[in-house]
Amino acid sequence: MRCKLLGKVICSLSLFLIIPINAKELNSLQYDARLCSAQLLVIRGDLSRLQLDDTKHHHKTGLKQRIAGALGTLAWLCKQNSFEKDLDFAIYKKQIENIQYSFETEKWQILNTELTALVSKMPLNEDTFNFKQLSKNTLDTSISIYKHYCKACHDKPSSESKTPAYSLFEMVKQMPRNEFLARMIVGVHGTPKIALRNPLTDDDIAGMTYYFENTASDNPTKEKIKG
Ligand code: HEC
Protein backbone atom coordinates (compact mmCIF):
# COMPACT_ATOMS: atom_id res chain seq x y z
CA MET A 1 0.00 0.00 0.00
CA ARG A 2 1.48 3.34 -1.01
CA CYS A 3 0.43 6.20 1.24
CA LYS A 4 1.73 9.74 1.39
CA LEU A 5 1.13 12.34 4.08
CA LEU A 6 -2.66 12.44 4.51
CA GLY A 7 -2.79 8.87 3.28
CA LYS A 8 -0.33 7.79 5.96
CA VAL A 9 -2.40 9.42 8.67
CA ILE A 10 -5.51 7.65 7.42
CA CYS A 11 -3.55 4.36 7.20
CA SER A 12 -2.40 4.60 10.79
CA LEU A 13 -5.76 5.74 12.12
CA SER A 14 -7.62 2.98 10.36
CA LEU A 15 -5.34 0.44 12.03
CA PHE A 16 -6.58 1.45 15.41
CA LEU A 17 -10.23 1.51 14.42
CA ILE A 18 -10.19 -1.98 12.98
CA ILE A 19 -7.85 -4.07 15.10
CA PRO A 20 -9.21 -5.32 18.45
CA ILE A 21 -7.28 -3.98 21.40
CA ASN A 22 -5.06 -5.89 23.76
CA ALA A 23 -6.72 -4.17 26.71
CA LYS A 24 -8.92 -7.13 27.61
CA GLU A 25 -5.84 -9.19 28.44
CA LEU A 26 -4.05 -6.76 30.74
CA ASN A 27 -5.65 -4.54 33.34
CA SER A 28 -4.45 -0.99 33.63
CA LEU A 29 -1.89 -1.76 36.36
CA GLN A 30 -0.46 -4.71 34.44
CA TYR A 31 -0.38 -2.68 31.23
CA ASP A 32 1.60 0.17 32.82
CA ALA A 33 3.83 -2.27 34.71
CA ARG A 34 4.76 -3.93 31.44
CA LEU A 35 5.34 -0.55 29.79
CA CYS A 36 7.90 0.19 32.51
CA SER A 37 9.87 -2.99 31.70
CA ALA A 38 9.65 -2.34 27.97
CA GLN A 39 10.53 1.33 28.29
CA LEU A 40 13.67 0.51 30.30
CA LEU A 41 14.91 -1.74 27.49
CA VAL A 42 14.10 0.85 24.83
CA ILE A 43 15.85 3.65 26.72
CA ARG A 44 18.94 1.49 27.21
CA GLY A 45 18.98 0.59 23.50
CA ASP A 46 18.51 4.24 22.48
CA LEU A 47 21.31 5.21 24.83
CA SER A 48 23.75 2.81 23.18
CA ARG A 49 22.85 4.18 19.73
CA LEU A 50 23.33 7.69 21.08
CA GLN A 51 26.89 6.82 22.06
CA LEU A 52 27.93 5.37 18.70
CA ASP A 53 30.33 7.60 16.77
CA ASP A 54 28.66 6.89 13.44
CA THR A 55 25.15 7.89 14.58
CA LYS A 56 24.26 11.02 12.62
CA HIS A 57 23.95 14.28 14.52
CA HIS A 58 20.24 14.83 13.81
CA HIS A 59 19.49 11.21 14.79
CA LYS A 60 21.30 11.84 18.09
CA THR A 61 19.03 14.84 18.62
CA GLY A 62 16.00 12.62 17.95
CA LEU A 63 17.30 9.94 20.32
CA LYS A 64 17.86 12.51 23.08
CA GLN A 65 14.30 13.77 22.62
CA ARG A 66 12.95 10.22 22.75
CA ILE A 67 14.89 9.40 25.92
CA ALA A 68 13.83 12.67 27.59
CA GLY A 69 10.19 11.90 26.72
CA ALA A 70 10.46 8.34 28.02
CA LEU A 71 12.09 9.47 31.27
CA GLY A 72 9.15 11.80 31.87
CA THR A 73 6.77 8.89 32.58
CA LEU A 74 9.27 6.29 33.79
CA ALA A 75 8.78 6.90 37.52
CA TRP A 76 5.00 6.55 37.23
CA LEU A 77 5.19 3.39 35.10
CA CYS A 78 7.79 1.75 37.32
CA LYS A 79 5.77 2.62 40.41
CA GLN A 80 2.97 0.56 38.86
CA ASN A 81 5.50 -2.19 38.18
CA SER A 82 6.63 -2.29 41.80
CA PHE A 83 2.97 -2.37 43.00
CA GLU A 84 2.27 -5.25 40.67
CA LYS A 85 5.33 -7.20 41.78
CA ASP A 86 5.01 -6.17 45.42
CA LEU A 87 8.41 -4.47 45.42
CA ASP A 88 9.36 -1.51 47.59
CA PHE A 89 9.17 1.45 45.19
CA ALA A 90 11.16 3.72 47.54
CA ILE A 91 14.33 1.84 46.52
CA TYR A 92 13.64 2.21 42.80
CA LYS A 93 12.50 5.82 43.07
CA LYS A 94 16.02 6.82 44.07
CA GLN A 95 17.46 4.82 41.16
CA ILE A 96 15.07 6.49 38.69
CA GLU A 97 16.04 9.91 40.03
CA ASN A 98 19.68 8.97 39.46
CA ILE A 99 18.83 7.92 35.92
CA GLN A 100 17.15 11.25 35.25
CA TYR A 101 20.06 13.17 36.75
CA SER A 102 22.66 11.14 34.81
CA PHE A 103 20.78 11.84 31.60
CA GLU A 104 20.57 15.58 32.26
CA THR A 105 24.28 15.74 33.07
CA GLU A 106 25.19 13.37 30.21
CA LYS A 107 26.89 10.82 32.48
CA TRP A 108 26.26 8.01 30.01
CA GLN A 109 28.24 5.33 31.82
CA ILE A 110 26.34 5.78 35.10
CA LEU A 111 23.08 5.97 33.19
CA ASN A 112 23.81 2.67 31.47
CA THR A 113 24.76 0.96 34.74
CA GLU A 114 21.63 2.20 36.52
CA LEU A 115 19.39 1.21 33.62
CA THR A 116 20.90 -2.27 33.47
CA ALA A 117 20.33 -2.70 37.21
CA LEU A 118 16.67 -1.70 36.85
CA VAL A 119 16.19 -3.92 33.78
CA SER A 120 17.22 -6.91 35.88
CA LYS A 121 14.83 -5.94 38.71
CA MET A 122 11.92 -5.26 36.38
CA PRO A 123 12.50 -7.59 33.43
CA LEU A 124 10.12 -7.87 30.50
CA ASN A 125 8.16 -11.11 30.75
CA GLU A 126 8.52 -12.77 27.34
CA ASP A 127 6.43 -15.83 28.24
CA THR A 128 3.25 -14.21 26.94
CA PHE A 129 4.70 -14.20 23.40
CA ASN A 130 3.99 -17.70 22.27
CA PHE A 131 6.85 -18.18 19.81
CA LYS A 132 7.03 -21.94 20.33
CA GLN A 133 3.45 -22.55 19.23
CA LEU A 134 2.82 -19.92 16.60
CA SER A 135 -0.03 -21.15 14.43
CA LYS A 136 -0.17 -20.55 10.69
CA ASN A 137 -3.30 -18.53 11.30
CA THR A 138 -1.51 -16.21 13.75
CA LEU A 139 1.40 -15.80 11.37
CA ASP A 140 -0.88 -15.03 8.42
CA THR A 141 -2.80 -12.46 10.48
CA SER A 142 0.44 -10.80 11.60
CA ILE A 143 1.84 -10.63 8.08
CA SER A 144 -1.42 -9.15 6.87
CA ILE A 145 -1.38 -6.50 9.65
CA TYR A 146 2.18 -5.58 8.71
CA LYS A 147 1.40 -5.29 5.00
CA HIS A 148 -1.78 -3.28 5.49
CA TYR A 149 -0.92 -1.06 8.43
CA CYS A 150 2.83 -0.78 8.94
CA LYS A 151 4.67 -1.26 5.65
CA ALA A 152 3.66 2.06 4.09
CA CYS A 153 5.62 3.97 6.74
CA HIS A 154 8.32 1.43 7.57
CA ASP A 155 9.63 0.20 4.26
CA LYS A 156 11.45 3.36 3.21
CA PRO A 157 12.99 5.19 6.18
CA SER A 158 13.65 8.86 5.49
CA SER A 159 17.19 9.71 6.56
CA GLU A 160 16.10 13.36 6.83
CA SER A 161 13.88 12.63 9.81
CA LYS A 162 15.25 12.90 13.35
CA THR A 163 13.19 9.81 14.24
CA PRO A 164 12.80 7.69 11.09
CA ALA A 165 10.41 4.76 10.80
CA TYR A 166 13.21 2.22 10.31
CA SER A 167 12.80 -1.06 8.45
CA LEU A 168 11.44 -3.53 11.00
CA PHE A 169 13.19 -6.38 9.11
CA GLU A 170 16.53 -4.71 9.77
CA MET A 171 15.74 -3.49 13.27
CA VAL A 172 14.87 -7.00 14.49
CA LYS A 173 18.26 -8.31 13.34
CA GLN A 174 20.24 -5.57 15.06
CA MET A 175 19.18 -6.06 18.67
CA PRO A 176 18.30 -8.76 21.21
CA ARG A 177 14.78 -10.12 20.84
CA ASN A 178 13.63 -8.70 24.20
CA GLU A 179 14.57 -5.19 23.06
CA PHE A 180 12.71 -5.60 19.79
CA LEU A 181 9.60 -6.87 21.63
CA ALA A 182 9.92 -3.88 23.94
CA ARG A 183 9.95 -1.57 20.91
CA MET A 184 6.86 -3.28 19.52
CA ILE A 185 5.13 -2.69 22.87
CA VAL A 186 6.23 0.92 23.32
CA GLY A 187 6.40 2.06 19.70
CA VAL A 188 2.85 1.36 18.49
CA HIS A 189 0.11 3.62 19.81
CA GLY A 190 -3.68 3.62 19.65
CA THR A 191 -6.07 6.54 19.57
CA PRO A 192 -7.47 8.51 22.53
CA LYS A 193 -10.60 6.37 22.13
CA ILE A 194 -8.65 3.35 23.40
CA ALA A 195 -6.61 5.43 25.86
CA LEU A 196 -3.66 5.43 23.41
CA ARG A 197 -3.13 1.77 24.18
CA ASN A 198 -1.20 -0.39 21.80
CA PRO A 199 -3.88 -2.23 19.78
CA LEU A 200 -1.67 -5.23 18.91
CA THR A 201 -2.16 -8.52 20.79
CA ASP A 202 0.86 -10.47 22.00
CA ASP A 203 0.11 -13.01 19.26
CA ASP A 204 0.25 -10.23 16.65
CA ILE A 205 3.56 -9.05 18.06
CA ALA A 206 5.04 -12.57 18.22
CA GLY A 207 3.84 -13.35 14.68
CA MET A 208 5.27 -10.15 13.23
CA THR A 209 8.54 -10.55 15.11
CA TYR A 210 8.92 -14.09 13.79
CA TYR A 211 8.14 -12.86 10.28
CA PHE A 212 10.72 -10.03 10.49
CA GLU A 213 13.34 -12.37 11.94
CA ASN A 214 12.93 -14.96 9.22
CA THR A 215 12.45 -12.80 6.15
CA ALA A 216 14.97 -10.68 4.31
CA SER A 217 13.58 -7.19 3.85
CA ASP A 218 11.37 -7.07 0.76
CA ASN A 219 12.57 -3.56 0.17
CA PRO A 220 16.28 -3.48 1.00
CA THR A 221 17.56 -0.14 2.10
CA LYS A 222 20.93 1.14 3.13
CA GLU A 223 19.42 2.98 6.08
CA LYS A 224 20.50 1.15 9.23
CA ILE A 225 19.02 1.73 12.66
CA LYS A 226 22.35 2.92 14.01
CA GLY A 227 22.79 5.51 11.27
C1 HEC B 1 2.08 6.77 10.02
C2 HEC B 1 3.34 6.10 9.87
C3 HEC B 1 3.53 4.83 10.72
C4 HEC B 1 2.75 3.71 10.75
C5 HEC B 1 1.44 3.45 10.01
C6 HEC B 1 3.42 2.80 11.64
N7 HEC B 1 4.57 3.36 12.12
FE8 HEC B 1 5.87 2.49 13.40
N9 HEC B 1 6.92 4.22 13.50
C10 HEC B 1 6.71 5.32 12.73
C11 HEC B 1 7.71 6.33 13.04
C12 HEC B 1 7.85 7.71 12.39
C13 HEC B 1 8.53 5.76 14.03
C14 HEC B 1 9.72 6.40 14.74
C15 HEC B 1 9.18 7.11 15.94
C16 HEC B 1 10.25 7.49 16.91
O17 HEC B 1 11.43 7.14 16.75
O18 HEC B 1 9.90 8.13 17.92
C19 HEC B 1 8.01 4.43 14.29
C20 HEC B 1 8.56 3.57 15.21
C21 HEC B 1 8.19 2.24 15.33
C22 HEC B 1 8.89 1.27 16.13
C23 HEC B 1 10.17 1.50 16.90
C24 HEC B 1 9.92 2.17 18.18
C25 HEC B 1 11.24 2.34 18.87
O26 HEC B 1 11.25 2.30 20.08
O27 HEC B 1 12.27 2.52 18.23
C28 HEC B 1 8.25 0.08 15.99
C29 HEC B 1 8.64 -1.25 16.62
C30 HEC B 1 7.14 0.32 15.10
N31 HEC B 1 7.13 1.63 14.73
C32 HEC B 1 6.27 -0.65 14.71
C33 HEC B 1 5.15 -0.40 13.90
C34 HEC B 1 4.18 -1.41 13.57
C35 HEC B 1 4.26 -2.87 14.00
C36 HEC B 1 3.22 -0.79 12.82
C37 HEC B 1 1.98 -1.39 12.27
C38 HEC B 1 1.12 -2.05 13.20
C39 HEC B 1 3.63 0.60 12.66
N40 HEC B 1 4.80 0.80 13.33
C41 HEC B 1 2.94 1.54 11.94
C42 HEC B 1 5.72 5.50 11.79
C43 HEC B 1 4.68 4.60 11.58
Q: Is the pLDDT of residue 9 over 90?
A: no
Q: Is 51 in the pocket of ligand 1 (CB under 6 A)?
A: no
Render pLDDT for 11-25 as a digit per residue (tens, 0 to 9): 454 455 445 544 457
Render pLDDT for 108-141 as a digit per residue (tens, 0 to 9): 999 999 999 999 999 999 999 999 999 999 999 9
Task: Identify whether residues 108 and 155 lie together within a single domain.
Answer: no
Tell me how far CA of residue 72 lies from CA of 50, 68, 149, 188, in angstroms.
18, 6, 29, 18
Residue 207 lies in a domain: yes
Task: Identify whether residues 111 and 143 lie together within a single domain.
Answer: no
Give the nearest ligand 1 atom to 184 CA: 29
CATH of the domain at 137: 1.10.760
Residue 223 lies in a domain: no
Q: Is the pLDDT of residue 223 over 70?
A: no
Residue 222 lies in a domain: no
DSSP summary character for residue 124: -
Portion of the chain with pLDDT greater than 90, in percent: 74
Quick one: CA dihedral 42, 196, 27, 99, positive or negative?
Answer: positive
pLDDT for 156: 84
Q: Give the range of the structural domain holding residue 166, as residue numbers without chain letter.
A: 5-24+127-213
Task: Identify whether residues 32 and 117 lie together within a single domain.
Answer: yes
Candidate of 156, 161, 188, 191 to mutate for ligand 1, largest count of ligand atoms within 8 Å of Cβ: 188
Residue 52 lies in a domain: yes
Which of 102, 121, 140 marks a domain boundary? 121
Give the nearest ligand 1 atom to 66 CA: 18
Quick one: CA dihedral 31, 32, 37, 41, positive or negative?
Answer: positive
Q: How many CB atoms lie within 10 A of CB 124?
A: 20
Task: Identify whether residues 73 and 149 lie together within a single domain.
Answer: no
Domain count of the fold of the chain? 2
* CA separation for the pair 20, 200 (Å, rounded): 8
Residue 198 lies in a domain: yes
Task: Identify whether residues 91 and 142 lie together within a single domain.
Answer: no
Single out the residue of 224, 113, 103, 83 nearest to residue 159, CA to CA.
Answer: 224
Full-model pTM? 0.88
Render pLDDT for 72-121 as a digit per residue (tens, 0 to 9): 999 999 999 999 999 999 989 999 999 999 999 999 999 999 999 999 99
Q: How many CB atoms lie within 10 A of CB 93?
A: 14
Q: Is 186 in the pocket of ligand 1 (CB under 6 A)?
A: yes
Quick one: CA dihedral 64, 75, 31, 16, positive or negative?
Answer: negative
pLDDT for 77: 95
Task: Identify whether residues 112 and 131 lie together within a single domain.
Answer: no
Task: Identify whether residues 194 and 150 lie together within a single domain.
Answer: yes
DSSP summary character for residue 159: T
Q: Is 98 in the pocket of ligand 1 (CB under 6 A)?
A: no
Q: Which residue has the higher pLDDT, 221 or 201?
A: 201
Q: Is 26 in the pocket of ligand 1 (CB under 6 A)?
A: no
* Cβ atoms 188, 126 nearer than 8 A: no
CA 154 to ligand 1 centroid distance, Å: 7
Coil, strand or helix at 89 = helix
* CA separation for the pair 153, 161 (Å, rounded): 12
Portion of the chain with pLDDT greater than 70, in percent: 85
Render pLDDT for 164-197 as a digit per residue (tens, 0 to 9): 999 999 999 999 999 999 999 999 987 777 777 8
Task: Identify whether residues 38 and 96 lie together within a single domain.
Answer: yes
